[in-house]
């Protein structure tokens, strides 16, 4: 058979494809080496917890072994028994000459969805032994009695990270789906995976951060953040966007939303079907939204007072000027909710009644129990962040993105990495994941003030955090308020949110607990009828679990319930307000600007 007569699946053709792929691997290896040499200097503390975490775990285990040897022996015997039983079952099945796995008792794990994990003796043995080991390690750590609650939380978290990292799904030689794909494609999938890996390392200055979404599939202002509006004010901290009305009449009191500046505001306006911004406008409100600047090293000295003075107070003043109204309603999401509460406390102490009502979305103000994210708030990490920001002038979005990803490592690190690097798949065209990867930096001073003064020292709840030199407290927040927290939020856990709200001085509090997490629980349009929510007519006081026990569950989104609450605080209907001046069409320029990320030294 001549070369021209080769069929695509002939041995000769497949060998040729394999050789071509090997040549591509050599070229990609050169690119990989070059990319790794450009890796920036990063403070070692940002790569993992201090060694004392592991020392405390080891010391606690030794203490348990000395003080309660019977329990430790019971752990070991239980683990050995399950391991040996599974080994014997696998041997007995093979001894019968049957190429199949023994019965799999479960539980089911999404990581092992490929049928070969259940049917193939080798892969099933790997899976079950891994799960038995994971269970044994988690049980041993969970039963340590000599650790403080804070140390226990950190040891359990980082133990889980290590256990998840060593899943057999994360390695080519023990991932049946990746091996099948490599054979089917004559190595093409592995070459494409290496291409994806090199691309990600090149894009992150020698560090690895998995690309979660197709970067070419979306463009802000074209198929994301498309609700019509105009930038009506701009300063060095923000662009203020006023949205065009869709109703002839609007409520008299305008609404101003402060999104978090850890990410970009268009999470509230991904597409029309799930846009909270569009929904609010359609309900008859004059809506303004802040789009924060993405800071570079020139913002190194910008602190929390700057965000309050040039961000919150300035935006409030501009909304009042534009609408002619003396009062506004305000919304704060996540860190922007925390800062909104600080701003309200400052205004109320000064006798300023600018804000008529406030809404807090997934907001922590009491950090006595910061939840799962608290594992990153000890001095080992925060000291490293302080040293790094002193050098760079900013806390880079890279570090924040990586940290938040590790809070859901299987969903946001390992599964995407398997698909991209082992299976050679292109990132999906997923708007939410695109937004997730479109992060922002934090100014050095602001980041440290927030981490030290609010998170570590719990200064707001302790009446110690200062705004413009004067301490403020949660009791100073007296406006009617509505707070929405999310049941499975891994960033701002709902019990912590509840505990902060209950300490606020308002006599008119509404607390809503949405199903799902930090994003999906908030971006939950009524048309989807996906996640429900809980309410309770009892006061927002006492134990949050007791509040939940007495709460009523409602199917569907919390948006309409909040909309009715907001209408009650927004006055009569007036003629719709059209944006009079425009510095740029929505979504503005700050949201798409790319700051200079080079370190200052």
Other residues' Cβ atoms within 10 Å of the Cβ of residue 444: 26
- Burial state string for 481-500 with b = 16 or more CB within 10 A and e = fewer than 16: bbbbbbbebebbbbbbbbbb
Q: Which of 334, 455, 482, 486 is catalytic?
A: 334
Check residue 425 and give left, alpha or beta (phi > 0: left; psi -120 to 50: alpha).
beta
According to the 3-state scheme, what is the secondary structure of 574-601?
EECCCCCCCCEECCCCCCCCCCCCCCCC
Q: Are 573 and 284 in contact (CB under 8 A)?
A: yes
| Best CA proximity match to 338, nearest among 487, 454, 512, 451 | 454
Q: Compute the half-sphere exposure of residue 590: CA atoms within 13 Å on the CB side of its CA.
A: 27
How far does CA 104 lie from the centroid of its chain? 34
Rounded Cα–Cα distance for residues 373 and 366 (Å):
14
Q: Which residues contact 234 (CB under 8 A, 6 or more apart)?
A: 240, 583, 588, 590
**What is the pairing mode between strands 229-234 and 238-243?**
antiparallel
* Pairing of β 509-514 and β 481-486: parallel
Let me know if 486 is a catalytic residue. no
User: What residues have CB less than 8 Å from 531, skipping those under 6 apart?
Assistant: 514, 515, 516, 520, 521, 524, 557
519 contacts 492 by C-beta, under 8 angstroms: no
Residues 390/361, Cβ–Cβ less than 8 Å: no
Compute the half-sphere exposure of residue 542: CA atoms within 13 Å on the CB side of its CA.
9
**Other C-beta atoms within 10 Å of 52: how many?**
13
List residues bridging with 382 in a β-sheet: none
| Dihedral of alpha carbons 420, 421, 422, 425, sign | positive
DSSP 303: -
Q: Which residues are catalytic?
A: 334
């Amino acid at each position: 058979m001549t070369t021209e007569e080769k069929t695509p699946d002939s041995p000769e053709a497949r060998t040729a494809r394999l050789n071509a792929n090997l040549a591509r691997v050599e070229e990609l290896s050169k690119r990989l080496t070059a990319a790794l040499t450009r890796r920036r200097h990063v403070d070692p503390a940002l790569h993992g917890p201090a060694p004392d975490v592991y020392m405390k775990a080891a010391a606690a285990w030794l203490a348990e072994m000395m003080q309660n040897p019977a329990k430790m022996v019971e752990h070991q015997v239980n683990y050995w028994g399950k391991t040996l039983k599974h080994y014997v079952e696998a041997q007995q099945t093979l001894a019968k000459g049957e190429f199949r796995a023994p019965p799999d008792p479960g539980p089911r794990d999404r990581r092992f969805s490929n049928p070969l994990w259940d049917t193939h003796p080798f892969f099933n043995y790997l899976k079950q032994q891994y799960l038995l080991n994971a269970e044994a390690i988690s049980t041993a750590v969970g039963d340590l009695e000599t650790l403080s609650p804070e140390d226990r939380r950190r040891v359990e978290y980082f133990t889980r990270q290590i256990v998840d990292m060593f899943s057999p799904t994360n390695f080519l030689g023990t991932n049946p789906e990746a091996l099948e794909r490599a054979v089917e494609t004559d190595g093409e999938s592995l070459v494409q995976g290496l291409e994806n890996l090199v691309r990600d390392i090149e894009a992150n200055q020698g560090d690895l951060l998995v690309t979660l979404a197709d970067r070419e599939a979306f463009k802000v202002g074209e198929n994301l953040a498309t609700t019509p509006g105009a930038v009506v004010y701009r300063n060095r901290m923000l662009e203020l966007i006023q949205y065009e009305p869709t109703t002839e009449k609007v409520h008299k009191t305008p609404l101003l939303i402060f999104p978090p500046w850890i990410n970009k505001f268009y999470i509230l306006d991904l597409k029309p079907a799930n846009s909270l911004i569009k929904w609010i406008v359609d309900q008859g409100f004059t809506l303004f939204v802040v789009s924060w600047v993405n800071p570079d090293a020139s913002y190194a000295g910008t602190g929390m007072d700057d965000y309050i003075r040039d961000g919150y107070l300035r935006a409030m003043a501009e909304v009042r000027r534009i609408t002619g109204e003396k009062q506004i309603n305000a919304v704060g999401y996540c860190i922007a909710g925390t800062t909104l509460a600080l701003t309200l406390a400052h205004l109320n102490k000064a006798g300023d009644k600018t804000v008529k009502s406030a809404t807090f979305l997934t907001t922590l103000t009491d950090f006595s129990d910061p939840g799962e994210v608290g594992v990153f708030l000890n001095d080992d990490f925060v000291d490293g962040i302080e040293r790094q920001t002193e050098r760079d002038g900013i806390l880079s979005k890279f570090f924040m993105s990586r940290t938040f990803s590790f809070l859901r490592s299987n969903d946001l690190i390992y599964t995407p990495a398997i698909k991209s690097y082992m299976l050679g798949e292109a990132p999906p065209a997923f708007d939410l994941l695109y937004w997730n990867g479109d992060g922002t930096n934090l100014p050095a001073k602001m980041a440290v003030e927030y981490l030290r003064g609010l998170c570590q020292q719990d200064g707001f709840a302790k009446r110690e955090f200062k705004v413009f030199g004067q301490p403020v407290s949660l009791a100073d927040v007296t406006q009617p308020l509505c707070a929405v927290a999310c049941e499975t939020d891994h960033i701002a856990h709902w019990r912590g949110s509840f505990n902060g709200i209950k300490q606020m001085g308002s006599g008119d509090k509404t607390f809503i607990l949405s199903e799902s997490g930090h994003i999906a629980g908030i971006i939950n349009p009524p048309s989807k009828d996906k996640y429900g929510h809980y309410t309770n007519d009892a006061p927002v006081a006492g134990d949050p679990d007791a509040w939940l026990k007495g709460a009523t569950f409602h199917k569907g989104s919390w948006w309409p319930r909040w909309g009715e609450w907001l209408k009650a605080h927004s006055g009569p209907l007036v003629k719709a307000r059209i944006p009079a001046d425009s510095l740029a069409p929505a979504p503005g320029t700050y949201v798409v600007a790319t700051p200079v990320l080079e370190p200052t030294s």
